[in-house]
Amino acid sequence: MSIQNLNSRDPFADAIKGPDDDIQDGLVHIRIQQRNGRKTLTTVQGLSAEYDLKKIVRSCKKEFACNGTVIEHPEYGEVLQLQGDQRENICQWLTKVGLAKADRLKVHGF
């Protein structure tokens, strides 16, 4: 008998990579990662490099009342990381502010 909800998996495993190991499809990938217990992290990857990600995180922290940071992922570059399940919030916020179009957002998770 195995417990299915304790399996750990890589949330970045389903990302489509281009020929030079960068994301070439132009999509913004929004993923959720399970931490311990009910704690989760929301990661946003694929935003354009011309945006200042630290300012985006600062604005998201105020808007969603959560903590967040910019991390350097070895394969995907700079990734936004927000505490909690912020998938719907970040989708609505990115389209409202105009950083990404709704058809360019790809939400992963549960």
Annotated domain spans of the chain? 27-107
Smallest CA-to-CA distance from 60 within 83, 39, 76 is with 83
Residue 14 has pLDDT above 80, yes or no: no
Q: From the CB of residue 53, how many other CB atoms can be counted at a distance below 10 Å?
A: 18
Confidence of residue 8 (pLDDT cuts 50, 70, 90): low
The upper half-sphere exposure of residue 83, i.e. CA atoms within 13 Å in the direction of its Cβ, equals 11
Q: In sequence order, what DSSP letters do the residues of 44-102 get, joined into one string?
A: EE---TTS-HHHHHHHHHHHHT--EEEEEETTTEEEEEEES--HHHHHHHHHHHTSS-G
Q: Supply the mean pLDDT for the chain.
A: 83
User: Quick one: average pLDDT of 79-88?
Assistant: 95
Across the strands, what pairs with 63?
none
**Reported CATH class of domain 27-107:** alpha beta
DSSP annotation of 27 reads: -
pLDDT in tens, 57-67: 999 999 999 99
pLDDT in tens, 29-62: 999 999 999 999 999 999 988 889 999 999 999 9
